[in-house]
Amino acid sequence: MILSTIKTEFSSFVNTKANQITLEIQMLPNSVIRHLVKFTNDMSGEIIYVYPNESIYNRYTKSIFNVNSPADRYKGELFLTLAGYWKYEFWEVYFEENPMTFDEENSPKTELEILKPKPNHGIVKGLVAIGKMYAAEKAGAEEVKYKEYISPEKTNFIYNGE
């Protein structure tokens, strides 16, 4: 589970290596894998895509999600405004050539987009991780606020509706 706070930068540590699809990546030094992350809000159904700034290690991938409004998915930016639970999906995107160019022309916008075959175009290989993220509200800026009343010192019973 990823824990975050809305409208703030956060990072995640997700195991993407266990389900890695492009296993020949070690043999091709110029090729690169990146992850397209899809967030879906459980209540509203809002969908956000982002290519996080990431470091891929032997057992996990560290992803850093920056905050900006308006957000640019290719720079690892997103702007979460809804608190609550989000479903996340990490999609493996394979690039034949390095350095990669992250823009609308060379990187898929969604997991369903297929670009024309070119060495610098990203190819979505498949889903490698799935889970839940909880986005909390900032303390003091909650949508629902409660006023706490002090309980009375004496008992406060009502008898026969009086």
User: Both tokens of residue 108?
Assistant: 């898929």
Question: Which of 131, 134, 132 is CA-nearest to residue 84?
Answer: 134
Distance CA 162, CA 152 (A): 18
Contact 35, 90 (CB under 8 A): yes
Domain coordinates in residue numbering, the chain: 2-136
Q: What is the pTM of this model?
A: 0.79
- State how far the Cα of 61 lies from the Cα of 76, in Å rounded to an integer: 14
The residue type found at 101 is T
- CATH architecture observed for domain 2-136: Sandwich (2.60)
Cβ burial 113-140 (10 Å sphere, 16+ → b, else e): eeeeeeeebbebeeebbeeebebeeeee
Rounded distance between C-alpha atoms, residue 14 and residue 128, angstroms: 10
Per residue of the chain (162 residues), give pLDDT as tens: 898 888 889 999 999 878 887 766 555 544 588 899 999 999 999 999 999 998 888 888 999 999 988 989 999 999 988 889 999 999 999 888 777 788 888 899 999 988 888 888 888 989 999 999 999 887 766 666 667 777 767 776 666 655
